Amino acid sequence: MLRLSVVFRSSKLFSTSALQLAASRPVKATAKGFKGNVSGKKNRKTAGSFRFFEDHIHYTKNREEGTQLSNLEFFGNELHSNKVVGFTEKQVQKLVQLGAFKKDQFNELFKVPITLLRNETEIIHKFITSTQSTPSSENRICLLGERGIGKTTLLTQAQALALNNGNTIIIPISYALKLVDGTNDYFYDSKLGTYTQPMYLKKLLAKIEYVNKESLQKLSLSQDYTIDGISKDKASVKFTPKHSLLDLVKANVAGRQRGKVFQILINELLKQNKSSVLLTVDNFSALTSNPITAYRNIENKLIYTEEFQISKFIFQLTSGEISFNQGGVLLATSSDDKPSITLKHGLGLIEADPYLKESEFSRQLASKLVGVKPIEVSKLSKENVSILIEKYIEAQAFNNFELEANSKEHLVNQKYVLSGNGNPLELLKSITLYH
């Protein structure tokens, strides 16, 4: 039997044509999905925060449990240098919307964010007062300095001063890298002749609306405007001189038309005389370091910075091509961006090599920065460090063993050296992240 079966099997192997010709049974498709864990172990991670360190300390409600400093004066119009002051609740609300407080500033130690009034604060104060009366082409400043020296903090102080005035409209670009890094949606607006970024504009217009509510309400439109709907079925939005600028900013407009709304807003602000306009750009060096953006056109070629509506508007203001009747431009560089010759040549700090490539040095952008006044932010003095340390001791930011082993004078000397002779960020790190 065994033999027969073997023969039978072997004889069957010779005729394979039937097998080949036979239609295969259709295999039922099953969704396998992404196999993340190959080993088969179930690794459930449920407890705790999902955030990274910077986000964790910034977003969790740490500030509510922060220390309330005693005898803390608030940031007003009296600005004596070498003094630590806190922002009022109203200021904080608006400054948060402006994106003034960054994640690495260790503000969560205090109930109210604090700031040190320095020598540069006086310069900023003078600048803000001059924006009230003189055109923006005469008030153009760029803050320079090493990492953590306090450029963004000074920008915040300028914004707080402008908010105190009550008659200043702030246009905040809190992180200019967002304009060029390719993270936003964009399209070519043929009517404007520029590329627009609808989602970025939506956020920007929301910020402008929230911060400048009172000032925008006072200003009315100078002429009629009609903004088309998304499709033929949707009604267009009409604006008349009865409407204020706040109505324009608040209007629920399709993303495709948002560029036009922003353009109308800028045109109206350029015409008016009632209030001053302050443009603040943080991380401005992102624009000069990346003259060619990460965005591509329909021919798959990279787009130049100035072809974007917002970037073009910024450079028009920095060059003085357009100017608000009263206002100013305040730029702050960032050390996160690669150092660019474009910025330094534009500000007149160095002379660029005439044989440099376009990728290394953008002549076009550099020419738009002529006339902008560079301000080099200096390091903190020992007195400044001493006053800051007092506040941080009060906020219990120091370790007990450090306080027990050293006198205050000792601590000041130690921290002054550890901070690289007065770099504020390094000072804070040496206090908070030293164990």
- In this structure, what token pair is assigned to residue 386? 């001493």
Residue of 65, 78, 89, 299 interacting with another protein (CB under 8 A): 65
Residue of 57, 85, 237, 266 interacting with another protein (CB under 8 A): 57
- In this structure, what token pair is assigned to residue 195? 């590329």
338 binds another protein (CB under 8 A): no
14 binds another protein (CB under 8 A): no
Longest dimension (CA), the chain: 113
Piece of the chain touching another protein by CB under 8 A; list 52-60, 78-86, 183-191, 355-363: 52-60
166 binds another protein (CB under 8 A): no
Residue of 231, 351, 401, 407 interacting with another protein (CB under 8 A): 401
Q: What's the min distance (Å) between Cβ of 392 and another protein?
A: 12
Number of residues that bind another protein (CB under 8 A): 29
- HSE (CB half, 13 Å, CA atoms) of 8? 5
45 binds another protein (CB under 8 A): yes
Alpha helices of 222-327 — where are they, by DSSP H?
Answer: 245-250, 258-271, 285-289, 309-319
**Is the Cβ of residue 48 or residue 354 nearer to another protein in the bound state?**
48
Q: What's the min distance (Å) between Cβ of 59 and another protein?
A: 12
413 binds another protein (CB under 8 A): no
Planar angle of CA 241, 246, 248, nearest 5 degrees: 60
Q: Are 169 and 358 in contact (CB under 8 A)?
A: no
Closest to 331 measured CA to CA, from 166, 127, 77, 184: 127
What is the x/- site pattern for another protein, positions 82-121, by CB under 8 A? --------------------------xx------------
Identify the three-state secondary structure at position 73: strand
36 binds another protein (CB under 8 A): no
Planar angle of CA 281, 287, 293, nearest 5 degrees: 135
187 binds another protein (CB under 8 A): no
Q: Is 132 exposed, middle or buried (0-12, 13-18, 19+ CB in 10 A)?
A: middle
- Residue 426 belongs to what H/E stretch? helix 424-432
**Is the Cβ of residue 25 or residue 45 nearer to another protein in the bound state?**
45
| DSSP count for the chain of H helices, then E strands | 19, 14
**Is the Cβ of residue 63 or residue 83 nearer to another protein in the bound state?**
63
59 binds another protein (CB under 8 A): no
Piece of the chain touching another protein by CB under 8 A; list 110-118, 191-199, 356-364, 392-400: 392-400
- In this structure, what token pair is assigned to residue 392? 């941080």
Q: What's the min distance (Å) between Cβ of 119 and another protein?
A: 30
351 binds another protein (CB under 8 A): no
**Rounded Cα–Cα distance for residues 229 and 254 (Å):** 7
62 binds another protein (CB under 8 A): yes
71 binds another protein (CB under 8 A): no
Alpha helices of 149-290 — where are they, by DSSP H?
Answer: 151-165, 177-180, 198-211, 213-218, 245-250, 258-271, 285-289
Q: What's the min distance (Å) between Cβ of 406 and another protein?
A: 7
Q: What's the min distance (Å) between Cβ of 329 and another protein?
A: 37
Residues in contact with another protein by CB under 8 A are 44-53, 56-57, 60, 62, 65, 67, 108-109, 396-397, 399-401, 405-406, 432-435
